[in-house]
Structures are given as C-alpha cells and as structure tokens.
Chain A
Amino acid sequence: MLTYDVVVVGAGNAGMSAACKLAMSGQKTLLIEQHNLPGGCATSFRRGRFEFETSLHELCDYGPASDPGDVRLLLKDYGINVKFLEVPDTFRVISTARSGREIDAAMPVGQKAFIDKMEEYVPGSRASMEDFFTLGDECNAATIYINQSNGSPDSEYMKKHFPNFLRTAAHTTNKVLDALKMPRDAQDILNTYWSYLGVDTERLTFMHYAAMVHKYVTRSAYIPELTSHGLSLAFIDRFQQLGGEVWFNTKVEKVLFENGAVSGVSTTQGDVAAKHVILNCNPHTAYATMLPKEVIPEREIRLANARTHSARAFVLYLGLNKTAEQLGLTDYSIFMPPTMDTAKAYQALSSLETNDYIISLCYNIVNPKASPEGTCMLSFTTFYSDEVWKDISPENYVNTKNQIASRMIDKFERKTGVKLRDYIEEAEVATPWTFARYINTPQGTMYGYETNEWDSMMARLMSLNTDYPIPGLKFAGAHGPRGDGYSSTYICGELIARLTLKDMAEEAK
C-alpha cells in the first residue's frame, strides 16, 4: 500500500496551506481532492471570452510590503510568489441606517482618511473612531499572539500587554461600539463588512469584527492578478516542488483506524496508509459519513449539533460588453443590505422572498485587464442564513435563479443609476446547489459554522486542545478556529499543520 506521513483530504485553502507547510517541513504528504481543480471556492471559470473569479472578494490580511499582513508573510514563508493588486478603497454602502437616514457612503483606505470621511458623513464620530482603531491595533496584536501560542496563551502576559482587548474581546460588536460612544450612524457604516463573517454584529464578537475592519482599512485589501485560481495553482505548484503529491478527481470515502488511531484513508482510487490525516472538510460530513462511530467522542457530536451552519452563497456573474467607464461603474465593492440594522438584515437572509442583500464587485476597477478590452465584469453576491434552496425542484431551478438574478440587477440599477441589462454578454449563476456540487459542504455552506457569541473565533482558539481530540486526526477549514474567509483559512491550515507537526515530534520521542 502507498504510505505517506500525512494525508490531507481536500485541496481547499486550508488544505493547500496545511499541505505546503507539511511538505516544507519534510513530511511525505499526499493531498487528495474530489474535484478536478484545486482551491475549493478559490477558483475561476470561463464563459465565452470572460474568466470569472468564483468567490474571492478581497484578501484582508495581505497588506503592503512595508506593513505585511499574515497572509503575505505566510506566502513568503512557503516560497509562493504571486502578483497581487491593491484595492483602492474599502467599500461603498448604500442602505438605510437604524436612525432611518438614507446612507450612501464611499469609504477610503487608511485610518486617517477613513476617520476623516466618517466625520464628514457623521459629525461627532471622530473620537470614537480613533478609539476604535487604537483598540483594533491591540486586538490584532493579541490575535497574533494567541495564534502563535497554539491555543494556550499566558494570561499574565495577556493582562499586561492586551488589557483593553481582554475587556472587550468577548463582547459583541455593537455592545463595544456603544461603549466607545460611537454615534449609531457611524456604527452602521463601520458595520458594513459584517456579511463577510456571516453573523450580524449583535452576535459577532467585537475582536473578530474589529480585527477584520482594522486590517482592511489600515493595510488595504488585495486581490491576486490571475484570480484565486492563480493563487490555488501557485499553492499546488509550490507543494509539488516541495515533493508533495496531489490526486484530483479522487474522493476519500473513509478514514481508516487501527486500534483507535488513524491508519490511513480509503479512496475511490484505493487505500492509502498514513498515521496522520488532516480533513479539509466539514466535521459534520466526516463524523456522519467518513469515520467509524466508535472512535468519535460524544462531545464531538454534541459540539457539532450545537453549531449553526453558516452562509449559503448565491452569486450572479455578469460579463458586460462595455467598459466600467462607459457604464459609469466607479466602485470596486458596493454593499447594498436591505437595512443597516445588521440583525434585521440577517433575518431577511432566511428566505428567498425577503433576501434583498447584494454585494456588487467590479473586478476591472482593480484590475483593468480582468476582462478583454472594451468589456468589464460584475458580480453580485448574497447569502442565505437557512437551507432554503433545498425545497426547489430541478424544473424550477433555472427560473428561480433567474428571478433572483433579475431582482439583483434591478436593485443595482435603481440604487446606482448604472444601466446593465442591454450589455450582458455572459451571465452565470452559482447557488447553494453549485457550492454543494463543487465543495460538498453540508447544505452548500461556505463559511463553516457561525462564529456567533458562544462559538467565537477566540472561544475556538482557546478550545484548540479540547476540540477534535481523535489521535492522528485534525480538521482545517472555514469551520475551524479562525472562522471563514480566505486569509483565515490559509492561516488555519498553517496552524493545524503546525499542531500536527508537534504531535509527530512528540510521538517520535
């Protein structure tokens, strides 16, 4: 039987990252992917003369060379060299604030510019915004420290260096923003990014949200020039250079055990032996279908049952036969929630009828060469907070997709005044069915489990040594300690590989 030190199941972001780290550390590593392409969500597809980015909106933890973010450092550490482009602004938001005020705010990059602009939109917000970023600095430093501590931070060190972080981290975002005495309208604008984490700011912990906003504003967002497919191929390329082996079109059906410990995997191409397996798939899937029941501790099933599946995406991709300039498109990302009351907006995501959320992206604003000359590309994204797509029949599927897509185009045209209808050369839609097809997560979710108050990023990081206790088996992905997002999953993969290496070193003793 073919034997490896480690088998990584799933070439999603976390799987590729873990595989690279292991191969770099000299482990004989096999990466197995059920699809014919790497990346999971991190891929692209062609329609006519257009190549569409599948899922990446913007990397939040890359940063400029002068102030590198964790992902830039991670790629450098792995020896992966990919060209990134800086996103010029943070976001534009068009919606109604909790106060009833109609907001159309375009927010720049850079703390000072962001604070100035906020003061312009919401006079009197300056002091609280400055406090927010000071606190954000501390949250980021604390997160990096906790990540490096492998889940066992020293509490005295924390108290000394991150006192404000400790006071605020476990509270919800809105609660802390109120404590900062931030005017509600400013809070609403600042909270625009909440959907990237899939949980409203009444339930999302402050440190998780603040860390993300802080990075976007301070270090800018970035996208890879050749789409996330390019980034995924770069990971695979490097992994293979490091001696790693990849099998595509291969499905891992079972994780094999001998005397209660992992002994390998059973795949559609035969069995493979390995004492360590990292699953870049959802724990629900693994526990229900891939592991013998007797090896799964009861707490793991309770944990899985306690969690909420997060964010089922719907994306409309448009290839337009006019340039962004000709159409009057000037913003990279525009967030158009039905309301800026995030809890109400989250509620509205629960049904096909009430879901009126859109994030629009125009790739050409950042990358003029994203599509052929004379054209541009737009995508519209929304999420569902419940498994509403399961009730649609195959015969009604296309019509349902197109009705929602049509509604998105109408709303966009109404809110921005930009006309699109007559210029659509290519149109494609991805639904939760599409994501279920390609990444096979439960219900086609993209974000793993909701990082709500009790199951927050921090609570997960501090439970690293109690969650997933099966010897030889670890999980990495959006469901993991760092939550969802490209940056989080790359970093999660590195973290889980590090913990695996630690286990291996201990076994060797």
Chain B
Amino acid sequence: MALNIKVGPIGALDMLKFKNQVKKRNQIIDSTTPAPLPEEYGTNARARALHPKAQTLLVKEVRQHQPDVKSYLLGREDGEPTAYFRAGQYLSVRLSIGGSEITRPYSISSAPQLALQGNYWITVKRTSPGFASDYILENWQEGTAVNVSGPEGEFYYEPLRDAKTVIGLAGGSGITPFLSMAYAIRDAAEDFNLTVLYGSRTKEDILFADEFAAIEKECPKVHLVNVLSDEEKEGMEHGFLTASLIQKYAGEEPFSVFACGPSAMYHFLDTELPKLNLEQKYIRRELLGAEKQPWTLPGYPTDKKDQIFQLTVKYVGNEKVIEASANEPVLVAIERAGIAAPSHCRSGECGYCHSRLVSGEVYIPEVSDGRRAADKEYGYIHPCASYPISDLVIELPGVY
C-alpha cells in the first residue's frame, strides 16, 4: 500500500495510541465517581406528566343540563395537576360494565388552565343505543372513581397549519371541544379567531349558552351563532349548517373549518363543504366514531350482514375463542368478552389498538382506514374500525 499516514510528531507512537485506547478509557472510568445514578430525569418526568398512560380521577361535581345530558368534573384527589392538553383534545374513559371492558372518547370542555388545578370537565349525552352513556348517566356521582387516558387526539388549532380564523361547526354535544377552545382563547393560552356555528333542533337543546355568552363578553375573538333547525328564534339562525351560512360568518379573510358533531351532520357537510372550494388543509373533522351500519358503506359484502364468526384472540401468552358479529367492529366483540383491549379514538385513526390479523378477513371502511402503508403489507388492522367477515385469529398488542 502506497499510503503511509503520519499523524502527530512521531508516526511510531500512533500504534501505541491505538493500543492505549482501552487503557486510557479504563483510567477515565476508574477516576469517575461511583455515585448512584439518577432514577429520574426532568425531561422524562415532563413527558410522563403530559402523556400519562392512565389517570385515576374522582367525579367531583355533576351538573345536569337536560334530562339526557350531564357534565362531570373529573379531578385528582390530591389536587395536583392533571395532564395539560390542547383545547379540542379528548379523554378516553375506561369502563367495566356487566363483564364488558370498554373505552369511550369524550372531548374535554374545560379550559386547559383548569388542568393545572387538577380538573377536567367532560359532557355525556345519552345516545341511542347508549351502552356507555346510559351507564355513566345512571351511575356516576360525586366520589365515583374514574379511569381515563391522557389527553388524546389532533382536533385542535395549530398555528403552523390553520388559518387565523376558525369557523367551528358544532352539532349537539359536539359543542364541547369548541367551549374548551373558547376558554383557551380567553385565557390567551391559544391565539386565533373562533366563530362557532352551533346547530341544535330547538332553543331548549342548546348547551353552554351562558358560558359562551360570558366568554364573548370578555373576549372579542370568540363568537357563537346558534342555528336552529326546528324553530325560529330572535337572534338565532334558522336552518342547517350550510355553505352559505358559513360564508356569511367567515368574511373575506382565509378561514379554517373545524367540525364536530353527530354522523348526520358530517353527512350533510359532505355535500355542503365542497361548495366552499376550500383547500383540504382548511377542513378538520373530529373523530367519526365507528360506523353503526357498516352495510351501508361502499365495499361491505352485504351477504355477510348479521353473520356470526369465530374470533380467536391472542394476547400476552393467552388465547380466547369468542364470537363476533359482522355488524360490529372486532374491538366491540373483544371488549364484550371482557378482554381489556387497548383503544382510544375508536374511529380507526389513532392506531392505539394496532393488532396483527393472523388469519381471516375483515372489512375496513375506506373513510376510517387510518393504517400506515406497511400495516396493510404485513396484515395489521385497527380492530376499532374493522368488521369481521370470516372466522378470525387476531393478536392484540397486549391488554390494559
């Protein structure tokens, strides 16, 4: 080899330096303190506080809005802060009901600042059928211990991405994330202009009217417009959340649309929003939830409707064989069997239930297929948004 490198004054010493690497390293190690290593680091403690795997809270107060709607103040017993959040995020509530182990996502309606005092408000409205909402409305009272996740979800204002003005489209209890956003703007925790178009049937159905009125008085960046479908009232819009109504309140500046409400509202918006010619980046939708009538969706093999299949569930060294209906997401069958499968969004998006489909076939609606490209390649599914259409073997990513 022609190359003959010399580093340092005397080339011969270099070989020695190579040999001495270990000796030098050992000298440094031997001269270092054997003091105990830290058990905790600031960064890790911050991360855990912001993203706890679970939070055990108590119901501290119950507020009845309407016969079928209550709000619950959930807080830490010791008054320490609960996990901070971005207005619009939700908590996944874990429930054990008659042998079923289930979760439900509920938007936080309170100010992010309230978490610093260890509290969140959530609102529960009876749905039909309402397995979880029935249970909560009937059983939760002051002092009930409640197990929730950390704050989850991406339905929040993001200044890098969204227009400075947000038109919120709310239906029913879908008003709750917007109330949190309104508080965040009032408290200067977040900075944008928020106009909420809030659709209700009648004036009686409106939630949080006083809260919004108080915020609007204090904070000119927040506006609430009630839109009633079934009656006409002074000072309120009549009709539905149409494109022209949005345009009327949006003004001339660029705006983002944030929508949160029942599936009927989303279906309506599917035909209205395109009329606004907005770029996709200006439209955000909160979780859709699992489709209750999958057979109405494109691609569903309708001959499978009402069929019951055998579902083998594997998890951390266990195996259980249960039944699963083609009409329900795989996750529901697993929960009903009392297996505490992990889940958060229940809409196919967040991937927390990411599981391996060992064998069998499922139907996955395109609209709620939040899988990564490689998941499809290697046979992974999100059981919360997958419907069994044959016998299945599935491997869960552990249990709670």
Contacts and interface: CB of A to CB of B under 8 A. Distances in A.
B380 to A, nearest CB: 7
Residue in B34, B43, B349 whose Cβ sees the most chain A Cβ within 10 Å: B43
Interface residues of B, number: 77
B312 to A, nearest CB: 16
Nearest to B191: A399
A248 B374 contact: no
B21 interface: yes
Given A301-B36, A302-B32, A233 B47 contact: no
Nearest to A52: B372
Given A164-B1, A288-B38, A226 B7 contact: no
B383 interface: no
B380 A395 contact: no
B84 A397 contact: yes
Tell me whether chain A's interface is mostly helix, strand or loop, or mixed. helix
Contacts of B367: none
Contacts of B399: 249, 269
Contact of B42 (A47, A390, A434, A462): A390
Q: Per DSSP, are chain B's interface residues mostly helix, strand or loop, or mixed?
A: loop
Interface of B: 1, 3-8, 11, 14-15, 17-22, 24-26, 28-30, 32-39, 41-51, 81, 83-84, 86, 112-113, 116, 154, 158-161, 189, 279-281, 316-317, 342, 349, 351-352, 354, 370-375, 377-378, 380, 397-400
Interface string A229-256: 1100110110000000101111000000
Contacts of A27: none
Interface stretch (A330-338, A340-348, A438-446): A438-446
A301 B160 CA distance: 44
Contact of B377 (A49, A134, A230, A433): A230
Contacts of A147: none
A303 interface: yes
A164 B1 CA distance: 9
B314 to A, nearest CB: 10
Give the top 5 A-B pairs by smallest Cβ distance, nearest first.
A390-B42, A249-B398, A230-B374, A425-B281, A394-B84
Interface string A35-54: 01100000011111101000
A374 to B, nearest CB: 10
B351 A46 contact: yes
B7 A176 contact: yes
B329 to A, nearest CB: 17
Contacts of A402: 159-160
B1 A248 contact: no
Interface of A: 2, 36-37, 44-49, 51, 131, 134-135, 138, 155, 159, 163-164, 166-171, 175-176, 179-180, 226-227, 229-230, 233-234, 236-237, 245, 247-250, 269, 284, 287-289, 298-299, 301-306, 312, 318, 321, 387, 389-392, 394-395, 397-398, 402, 405-406, 409, 423-427, 432-434, 436-437, 440, 442-444, 454-456, 458-459, 462-463, 466
Chain A CB count within 10 A is highest, among B1, B41, B373, for B41
B24 to A, nearest CB: 6
Given A46-B351, A298-B34, A321-B280, 4 more contacts: A134-B1, A170-B21, A390-B46, A466-B26
B226 to A, nearest CB: 30
A442 B14 contact: no
A46 B17 CA distance: 49
Contacts of A302: 29-30, 32-34
Given A321-B281, A434-B47, A443-B44, A424 B5 contact: no
B18 A170 contact: yes
B86 A398 contact: yes
B93 to A, nearest CB: 18
B7 A167 contact: yes
Nearest to B154: A47
B161 to A, nearest CB: 5
A318 B160 CA distance: 9
B378 A288 contact: no
17 contacts: A36-B397, A131-B3, A138-B1, A167-B7, A170-B17, A227-B372, A227-B374, A247-B316, A248-B397, A299-B30, A303-B29, A312-B43, A394-B116, A397-B84, A398-B86, A436-B48, A442-B38
B160 A424 contact: yes
Contacts of A166: 14-15, 18
B3 A135 contact: yes
B35 A305 contact: yes
Given A170-B21, A426-B161, A287 B37 contact: yes
A171 B14 contact: yes
